[in-house]
Amino acid sequence: MSPLIAGFDAGQTHTTCRLMEQRASGELVPVGEGKGPGVSHLAAPGGEERFQAALRLSLATARASQDARQPLLAAGVGASGIEAGSPVELQGRQLAAAALDLPLERLVVRGDERTALRGAFPDGAGILVISGTGCIAAGRDAAGREHRCGGWGWLLDGRGSAMDIGRDGLMASVRMADGREPETPLLQALWSALGISDPQALKARVVQADFGPAGFAALAPAVDRLALAGDPAAGAIIQRSAAGLVELVAGVAAALALAEPPVAAVGGAMAHLASLRQAWSADLAARLPRARLVPPGHDACHGAVLLALEQLVPLCQHQPASEPAA
């Protein structure tokens, strides 16, 4: 009975757990996958409890079709807000160890950009840019050094994210509403999407507890559609966001001295906003002409499994050799 390796991708909306077996050939074979609830920063109210519940429930769902006796050997977890080498990383490992009933030495907990990077480029150097509700870029050089740009949180730094696109769209709409900018269809499209028709209702809506970054991000598809249709205000917002993503990549490339980096892009905004994809690829070609756009090799769950396996290597090296048979 082969032991299982679990890889977790813990996001704000949901958590995915993938169970994999490593065959004698070294090949990793997926044998189960499950979903669980999302997580928040560990320091947020209820953050520790949400983190542990997400791991337990997603693992239980992934195990639903497995032999319950099949042991879990190790796990890798990627979650937002965890900086490598920080006290929060150790906190995350301790919480994961308790939730998954594993010793600390069989667990890796990293920021989700690190597991996604490892999955995208499992065997070499590269830069991964992630644009969803938030955005971040992370890279690794041939020697294994890593660097990240962005990911400071929506209140501080979100240029290139769906949240930023939606918020910038609303900011443009209020300038149009009071005459500081010429009105375009952007104003009516965004206000209609929110079900409002006057400034007081808009001000009241954006301060509601259930709005936040997800509320702004939900408006990004409307900005995208208008940009594709030629709305100048929407087009300018998309261009600024694309430039912000290229800045992240350029920062990583400079820090790691990557002259001709392969670059992959993932995330909901990249997947669903056509105008952003088009502007981003054009801006990247203009600013970093030696960069090469490539598809990611694998996803973040696969990257988490690879990190967990690497964690096991030193343990195996320190195991005492078996006694020879008599």
Q: Give 133-152 pLDDT, tens digit per residue.
A: 889 999 999 999 999 999 88
Q: pLDDT category, 65, cuts 50, 70, 90?
A: confident
Which pLDDT score is estimated for 321?
46
Q: What is the pLDDT of residues 241-254, one digit of tens each?
A: 999 999 999 999 99
Tokens for 50, please give them: 């949400």
Task: For 104-132, write each residue's pLDDT tens digit.
Answer: 999 999 999 999 999 999 988 999 999 99
User: Measuring CA to CA, which residue among 242, 233, 255 is closest to residue 286?
Assistant: 242
What value does the mean pLDDT of the chain take?
92
Per cent of the chain over pLDDT 70 is: 95
What CA–CA distance (Å, rounded) separates 53 from 46?
11
pLDDT at 68: 62
At residue 324, the pLDDT reads 43
Q: Is 90 or 315 the better-scoring residue by pLDDT?
A: 90
- Between 23 and 79, whose confidence is greater? 79
Residue 5, pLDDT score: 95
Please name the helix (run of DSSP H) or strand (run of DSSP E) that holds residue 31, with its range, or none: strand 28-37
Neighbours of 18 (CB within 10 A): 24
Cα distances (Å, whole numbers) of residue 134 to 11, 68, 192, 213, 217: 11, 37, 24, 8, 9
Task: Identify the H or E element spanning 213.
Answer: helix 212-217
Tokens of 158: 């979100």
Per-residue confidence (pLDDT) for residue 13, from 0 to 100:
79
Task: Report how far apart the first and last C-alpha atoms of the chain are (Å, whole number).
Answer: 27
Lookup result for tokens 């400079």 = 254
pLDDT for position 22: 86
Read off the pTM: 0.87
Q: How confident is the model at residue 1 (pLDDT cuts 50, 70, 90)?
A: low
Query: pLDDT of 213-249, one tens digit each?
Result: 989 999 999 999 999 999 999 999 999 999 999 999 9
Identify the band that residue 322 occupies on the pLDDT scale cut at 50, 70 and 90. Answer: very low
pLDDT at 315: 55
Whether 211 contacts 171, CB under 8 Å:
no
Sheet harboring 14-22: ordered strands across? 28-37, 14-22, 4-10, 72-79, 107-111
Mean pLDDT of 6-23: 91
Task: Name the percent of the chain lying above pLDDT 90.
Answer: 78
pLDDT (0 to 100) of residue 323: 43
Domains of the chain listed by start with CATH number:
4-122+298-317 (3.30.420.40), 162-293 (3.30.420.40)
DSSP state of 23: -
